[in-house]
Structure 1
Amino acid sequence: MSVGDKISNAAEKAAGAAKETVGKATGDRETQAEGAAQKKKAEMKQAGEKTKDAARDITN
């Protein structure tokens, strides 16, 4: 995983977590759900990138 991908995924995860927290604090379930989904999406991207890195390491 490139450094740019790591930074991008971490930023997306942090933004999702922040949105989820704001939704919880304000009682806005839609915002909370959007934040949780955004955070999960970033986590899935990270997992995919780690899998690609592991496969690349095996082939080298």
Structure 2
Amino acid sequence: MLRWALIFFIVAIIAGVLGFGGIAGAAAGIAKIIFFIFLVLLVISLIANAARGRGPKV
């Protein structure tokens, strides 16, 4: 999921440089939403692993 956020971020940067403001804004908004979903799922995963009594695998 983080990969998709980075892809949309890069698309937004390229579109912005080329002058496509609407596309750049939309891609940046999508990237932001996907990134926050990634963060929420990461926190849920860390809490679930801590509740089970397991530490992160090394």
| TM-score strictly above 0.5 | yes
Displacement of 1:18? 2.3
Gaps (5+ residues) in structure 2? 53-58
User: How far apart, CA to CA, are the structure 2 residues paired with 1:14 and 1:56?
Assistant: 26
SS of alignment partner, residue 19 of structure 1: helix
Higher helix proportion: 1
Q: How many corresponding residue pairs? A: 52
**Which deviates further from its counterpart, 37-46 or 10-19?**
10-19
Q: Provide the residue aligned with 2:9 in structure 1.
A: 17
Residues 32-52 of structure 1 show CA distances to partners (whole Å, capped at 9, x for unaligned) of: 101111211121111111111
Provide the alpha-carbon RMSD of the alignment: 1.4
Identity, % of aligned positions = 6
Q: Provide the residue aligned with 1:57 in structure 2.
A: 49
What is the TM-score normalised by the length of structure 1?
A: 0.69
Displacement of 1:58? 2.3
Residues 5-58 of structure 1 show CA distances to partners (whole Å, capped at 9, x for unaligned) of: xxxx12311221122112212211111101111211121111111111122022
What is the TM-score normalised by the length of structure 2?
A: 0.71
